[in-house]
Structure 1
């Protein structure tokens, strides 16, 4: 009768469990499915097509492609994130192990003294071996929700890895662009020094011939030294970019300095950039996916806490053999066998359980807030990146026109000065304007290249999801 009552209780629990489902995560109030274009994606710089996956290959630079590939293989920060991902995947395996029966084996040998009726004791050797197993029936979703939470942790960790990989690729491309831009600035500074040197030579010759002023010579010397003063800072910026590339690619500065490829110009895309729409952006951004999985995991943990309100039911069995002689172990008269359901329920004191449920629910609310914030941050970062990139490209075009005009003005003023039709002050001013225009254009190339990288990072890099097939089950 007792066994029948227990079985009936277990059957009732199974029926009740059919009404329990995994809790749904709290819903965001943001409109996430709207396939609206990005606000800043108008104009000729962008098109509403899906971004390519390996965006750095759009530059058709073998050097950049090699650097990014090396960084993704050897970057130490990325290796750390990868190891953390493996830790989380191992935790998922641990959570899944709760679905399987647990087994215990034991063996004992010793000297025992036991009382016997009517009085007295029996002393002698005693041997015992045993085996028992227990399988928890997941009637109320405790294990199921724990596994679901662990699976979401894996997916969140995979999204974190994607985010880290996007950042490593983007920063490698940025460091390469900075290296090329700094190299270009060094070349511009050298050209400015050369122009200033020619002006000084010209003024000295005219002064020696009695056709110039000492003031012109001094001003030309000042201009030459000013141009030379730019070179050290530009070289330092170029070296700094090399050192950043070394860290990103897992090399020492000396190794990178020896292996740095030759730059053929500042990376720049001439065609429009594919940016997609807002909905595809949010689906693509790994930081949004990370917080989304964290939200679903938090909801599953509410289910884990809720399951504590209900009884824990396990099927168990054991077999043991105890004998005074090791040779008798396993004989029928030494065996003890038991089997049946095991039910435990702490319903008289559920205050702690309800407190844990409230704690889990608050955690889900916090996860929802983080998810909403990640969505807003993604939209803000992308819109800002698109706006800054378009503005810098427009600025760069104007600076290019200004540089060409300044070059022509400097050429004409030099001709007029040599003909005696213009003062050296005019020549000096036009050459200073030309040098500044060259430097400003080179700096704008660097800023535009960095802004271009910001766009690709903000777009989520169109990175393919690195989901482990095992984490989907």
Structure 2
């Protein structure tokens, strides 16, 4: 970052200048680029609406249970509590910086014993003296170092607030994802149970045919094996559901065992009833909390340059003092009272090379912050475009798998009917039921993935931090 040339102390005082560059978003920043502010390249799909994202996007699901879970998590989540505490700490740092430009007072008292000629002359007696006074100082801050320090502290505090807001976004998405995962597991469980019921019906028919002399024991064994394989998938599905419930409890600040028991029977995850409102790139840049944090960090780094540059100039402090000083025998006498007022000037002139090194180091930090700001904008746009594309294509994938499941279910039913009337072999029945099981599993996985991709879109859009 280019650093403003040093001005003389006189120019600073007459023009009331502040050392260092005045911050503004760089003209060449990615956040100002036309390509970053236009409509999303992947947003021209029926699944999306060119409308602003609402503050609390999870309410688009119209699920009161989900609303309650998110609200509880935003009050009790431990990560958010830590982010709130970090924000409070940043606000106190601002107060500390602001205290640097207030009036400072001091009190002093002392006593001293002296004996003249102690080492060379055998003079008797010791002289006692005392000091008792008070002082007051006010920094003029002609170079603006204190003002730049306050500016940097405020910018850092605003960055901490943006970081806290980003935690809120992440928690809202995580709660919605865990809730959806638990209900998706129940939907997968129901689909698996449906296939298992068909296979057990086939097993019963095969067993009756075997007893009636129309089948073989081999057919019975194969039918039982297919049913056992489907049954074996059920414990894993239940374990995934419980893991999602334990995660949801932790997100809400609860002990894992205190998970919402009502979700053990939720039949399906919440579903959107309308296209997702996505806005455009400009709205995304204004809304994303991580972009705001990166921009505020850049502002703080820029102000820090001024803090370092102010060290090149003298520090002038208006001060005054009054009190008593003299021998104890004149204690409280008017002859020992005195005072003074005037500017106090300090200047570490010999350290100019060190100060210049710090200025250039601060400029490099600002360059780093500028690069991170641009990188954060680019990454936010990449995440959003990727999430929009993934969700739109998963919709197509899910629709194709739904058709495949329907065909597999019809084929399984037809194979069973033909087998009962002796018009096809048992191997065709097993094949059709295996295809149905695979189709049901693929569809259930796609439907779970579809809900995940929805949440990815909302997370990339960066909403939900507004209180």
Please say if 1:185 is aligned against 2:185.
Answer: no
Deviation at 1:56, TM superposition (A): 1.0
Cα distance, 1:30–1:11 mapped onto 2, change above 3 Å: closer
Cα distance, 1:400–1:12 mapped onto 2, change above 3 Å: closer
Matched-pair contact (CA < 8 Å) for 1:166–1:463? yes
Matched-pair contact (CA < 8 Å) for 1:410–1:427? yes
Can you list the C-alpha shifts for 1:367-424, whole angstroms capped at 9, x where unaligned?
Answer: 1111111111101111111111111111111222222222222222222221222222
Residue in 2 aligned with 1:175?
178
One of 241, 265, 270 as aligned partner of 1:267: 270
Residue in 1 aligned with 2:63?
61
Residue in 2 aligned with 1:367?
369
Please say if 1:157 is aligned against 2:156.
Answer: no
Can you list the C-alpha shifts for 1:18-71, whole angstroms capped at 9, x where unaligned?
Answer: 385643355544263534101111111111211011111111112211111111
Please say if 1:410 is aligned against 2:409.
Answer: no
Deviation at 1:12, TM superposition (A): 6.0
Matched-pair contact (CA < 8 Å) for 1:22–1:145? no
Cα distance, 1:211–1:327 mapped onto 2, change above 3 Å: farther
- For 1:74 and 1:227, the matched residues in 2 are separated by 40
Residue in 2 aligned with 1:112?
113
- For 1:260 and 1:334, the matched residues in 2 are separated by 84
Matched-pair contact (CA < 8 Å) for 1:23–1:302? no
- For 1:209 and 1:84, the matched residues in 2 are separated by 76
Unaligned residue ranges in structure 2 (runs of 5+): 1-7
Deviation at 1:262, TM superposition (A): 4.5
Please say if 1:129 is aligned against 2:128.
Answer: no
Deviation at 1:349, TM superposition (A): 3.8
- For 2:151 and 2:330, the matched residues in 1 are separated by 49
TM-score by length of 2: 0.91
Matched-pair contact (CA < 8 Å) for 2:182–2:241? yes
- For 2:416 and 2:219, the matched residues in 1 are separated by 13
- For 1:94 and 1:122, the matched residues in 2 are separated by 50
One of 229, 234, 243 as aligned partner of 2:246: 243
Cα distance, 1:289–1:140 mapped onto 2, change above 3 Å: same
Matched-pair contact (CA < 8 Å) for 1:203–1:217? yes
Larger deviation, residues 395-404 vs 139-148: 395-404
Please say if 1:14 is aligned against 2:26.
Answer: no
- For 1:269 and 1:428, the matched residues in 2 are separated by 37
Residue in 2 aligned with 1:470?
none
Cα distance, 1:46–1:132 mapped onto 2, change above 3 Å: same
Please say if 1:449 is aligned against 2:451.
Answer: yes
Unaligned residue ranges in structure 1 (runs of 5+): 1-8, 467-473
- For 2:409 and 2:112, the matched residues in 1 are separated by 105
Deviation at 1:113, TM superposition (A): 3.5
Larger deviation, residues 238-247 vs 262-271: 262-271
Residue in 2 aligned with 1:377?
379
Please say if 1:293 is aligned against 2:296.
Answer: yes
One of 89, 92, 96 as aligned partner of 1:90: 92
Residue in 2 aligned with 1:49?
51
What RMSD over aligned residues (CA atoms) do the two structures have, in Å?
A: 2.4
Aligned length, in residue pairs:
453
TM-score by length of 1: 0.90
One of 401, 404, 410 as aligned partner of 2:403: 401
Please say if 1:279 is aligned against 2:282.
Answer: yes
Deviation at 1:127, TM superposition (A): 4.8
Cα distance, 1:326–1:103 mapped onto 2, change above 3 Å: farther
Can you list the C-alpha shifts for 1:278-304, whole angstroms capped at 9, x where unaligned?
Answer: 111011111111110001111100111
- For 2:209 and 2:272, the matched residues in 1 are separated by 47
For 2:400, what is the secondary structure of its paired residue?
Answer: helix
Residue in 1 aligned with 2:5?
none
Cα distance, 1:178–1:13 mapped onto 2, change above 3 Å: closer
- For 2:328 and 2:101, the matched residues in 1 are separated by 38
- For 2:462 and 2:269, the matched residues in 1 are separated by 23
Cα distance, 1:258–1:372 mapped onto 2, change above 3 Å: same
Deviation at 1:125, TM superposition (A): 6.0
Matched-pair contact (CA < 8 Å) for 1:311–1:344? yes
Deviation at 1:111, TM superposition (A): 6.3
Can you list the C-alpha shifts for 1:74-120, whole angstroms capped at 9, x where unaligned?
Answer: 11111111111111111111011111011111234x5634659xx96
- For 2:426 and 2:372, the matched residues in 1 are separated by 64
- For 2:292 and 2:459, the matched residues in 1 are separated by 15
